[in-house]
Amino acid sequence: MRRRPRSSVAASIGRVSIALAVAAVAAVGCGGDDEPSSTERPLSSDESAMLANALFDNVERGGASFSLAVQVGDGATINLQGEVDWREHRGYAQVSARNVEQGVREVFWSDDAVLEARDDLAPLLEQAGLPPAPWVVRDPDPVGRQLDQALALVTALAAEQRDNPLLIEQEPGSAFVRTDTLRDVPVVVLRYGERAVYWLAADDGRLLRFESDNETNTRPVVFDVLAFSDVTIDGPPVDQIVDVADLGDLYAAALAT
């Protein structure tokens, strides 16, 4: 799913940290299956170790099917449901958005490319005098596009090395929040810092849910792991893809409407 070479392609972006992605995107939160128990307290050494391993464990497991809900403004939401390959930093998702990112139905992404299936792509291609194609490819834009911020968050929920448990314990705000049940699985809910909350399976520490919010508690994020699995995400054939550069100003004009 690599970007087709062209002279104007920008340098590939690196992975966006969770802190940066969370600061820019948000979603509607939801609770567990049962009434929560216990109250907040400092992390134990075992709990900080669970947190330290959570994102590394995602890489070890390879990938997952997921859902992500983000709220990017008043009445503006993005919902994704799809699969992510954390080892290769690739993903696919169906997109449902309201009052933002209008027209995007599906998306493939990697570190250096985003492929969109759009409701308005056929007329754009016709206006540009190009043959029909179901996908348009472009560079990632995690600063300017709310969708890309959400994709960056999904990719960033994995790490190639474990965090330092001691640093997690020392981070202001880190705490044991409660025990709970999520989709019939007993979980331990732990917070890393002030706003990153991890729902970890009590038996093996696997990540089942990640939540966060901004400083004013108006932009919550909810990411759910529906099932872990090894996934391969190749993207569509090249002959089904048009480069955004071939659309000239038509693509930017469509985004502005």
Model pLDDT for residues 126-136, shown as the tens digit of each residue: 999 999 999 99
Tokens for 254? Answer: 């469509």
Instruction: Answer left, alpha or beta for residue 128, where phi above 0 means left and psi between -120 and 50 means alpha.
Output: alpha
Q: What is the mean pLDDT of each run of 10 residues along the chain (257 residues)?
A: 36 36 40 63 96 97 97 91 97 95 94 96 94 96 93 96 95 96 97 96 97 82 96 94 94 84
| Confidence (pLDDT) at 25 | 41
- 178: how many CB neighbours lie within 10 A of its CB? 17
Do 197 and 182 form a contact (C-beta atoms < 8 A)? no
Q: Which amino acid is at 49?
A: A
Q: What is the pLDDT of residue 1?
A: 62
Through-space distance between the first and last CA atoms of the chain, rounded to whole angstroms: 29
* C-alpha closest to that of 175 among 38, 45, 18, 40: 40
Bridge partner list, 179? 37, 188
18-256 in CATH: which number? 2.50.20.20
pLDDT value for 73 = 85
Amino acid at position 40, single letter: E
pTM comes to 0.86
